[in-house]
Amino acid sequence: MKRIIVLLVVLMTLTSLVFAQGAAEAAEKFPTQPIKLIVPWSAGGGTDAIARALAKSGEKHLGVPVIVENKPGGTGALGLGETIKAAADGYTLAILPVELSFLKDQGIYPFDFSNFTRIMNLNTDPSALTVKADAPWNTLAEFVAYAKANPGKIKIGHSGTGMLWHLAAASLALKTDTQYVYVPFNGAADAIASVLGKNIDAVTVSGAEVSAQVRAGEMKILAVFGERRMDIFPNVPTAKEQGYDVVVNTFRGLGGPVGIPEDRVKILHDGFKAMMEEPEFISLISKMGLGIDYRNTADYYKLTDATAAALAPVLESLLKIK
């Protein structure tokens, strides 16, 4: 009888161990269901294009579909807010915009990068100081010299007050001790049209946004506000090459709610990195004139923190103007 009891105890112990091991394996396996990728802007823009290009090979590299959902509204706040509130299990992600570096300071966002798990950077595009083709300036030095001699005469258009391209123009002013009139527009397209119509003198939008006009000979880029030249305009020098330390980039990264476990962050990072290396992704993004800029988790944290620090004095200078 004792032998039977002993055997039953052993069997029960082994059974519980098997179940425990199975449960542990099930818990460790990730992902096992589709991943939602929130785009906090409308369909059709650069952010949406990047997300959908990545999602095409999502199942190939993660074993589950990546479903893109557009959640526009509140300058991105609606979709980003939904991301923050989601469970921190790695199944709800978002394309995080550069605006998280500075819109909280302006009272537009109730959150910033610190409210997200940052996974990796995907894309970077520099601002490009662009003027009409027949403008009297051919270099950044000539533009700055004219601005110094004529304070407040040059009108620079941008795609929204307090937004990144406004800060790009203000960065130029701060770094060169010059003064400009900043003219806001409802998007880059309207600002570009105003330059062509000679209503304003210049724009500080991305090189991709002015690429069609530059290639058509209607506009010219005086300087790229990036660390390196743009692939689509390799002959255009950066501001730094011309002696001016002006660097303002927009960038898009991948992130999710705070608290995603590190092992899942690693799986997501590796999966999305493989998606970025797909020839179809590279071809599509390059054709759009967007810059592919992979940075791992640690470097992405450095990028977001450094951008916030760099833009803080620019925001302060604009507040002084007001």
Q: What are phi and psi of 277, to 5 degrees?
A: -90, 0
- Rounded to 10 degrees, the C-alpha dihedral 233/196/198/240 comes to -10
> In the chain, where are the structural domains located?
35-125+250-311, 126-248
- Give the pLDDT of the chain (322 residues) as one tens digit per residue: 555 554 444 445 545 544 444 444 444 699 999 999 999 998 888 899 999 999 999 999 999 999 999 999 988 999 999 999 999 999 999 999 999 999 999 999 999 999 999 999 999 999 999 999 999 999 999 999 999 999 999 999 998 889 999 999 999 999 999 999 999 998 888 999 999 999 999 999 999 999 999 999 999 999 999 999 999 999 999 999 999 999 999 999 999 999 999 999 999 999 999 999 999 999 999 988 899 999 999 999 999 999 999 999 999 988 775 5
Name the DSSP class of 33: S
Best CA proximity match to 256, nearest among 265, 247, 266, 248 = 265
Q: Answer yes or no: are the C-beta atoms of 70 and 81 closer than 8 Å.
A: no
Report pLDDT for 6: 44
Q: Helix H segments across the chain?
A: 2-28, 46-55, 58-62, 77-85, 140-149, 164-176, 188-196, 207-215, 262-276, 279-287, 297-321
Q: Cβ–Cβ contacts within 10 Å for residue 146, how many?
A: 16
Report pLDDT for 44: 84
Across-strand partners of 233?
230
Report pLDDT for 321: 56
- The topology (CATH level 3) of 126-248 is D-Maltodextrin-Binding Protein; domain 2 (3.40.190)
126-248 has the same fold as 35-125+250-311: yes
Residue type, 158: H
Report pLDDT for 19: 45
Report pLDDT for 276: 98
- CATH class of domain segment(s) 35-125+250-311: alpha beta
Q: Report d(CA 201, CA 284) in Å as an integer.
A: 32
Best CA proximity match to 168, nearest among 230, 76, 239, 107 = 239
Report pLDDT for 186: 84
> 164-176 vs 140-149: helix axis angle to the nearest 10?
70
Across-strand partners of 66?
35
Q: Are strands 202-206 and 155-158 parallel, antiparallel or unpaired?
A: parallel
Best CA proximity match to 189, nearest among 172, 170, 175, 203 = 203
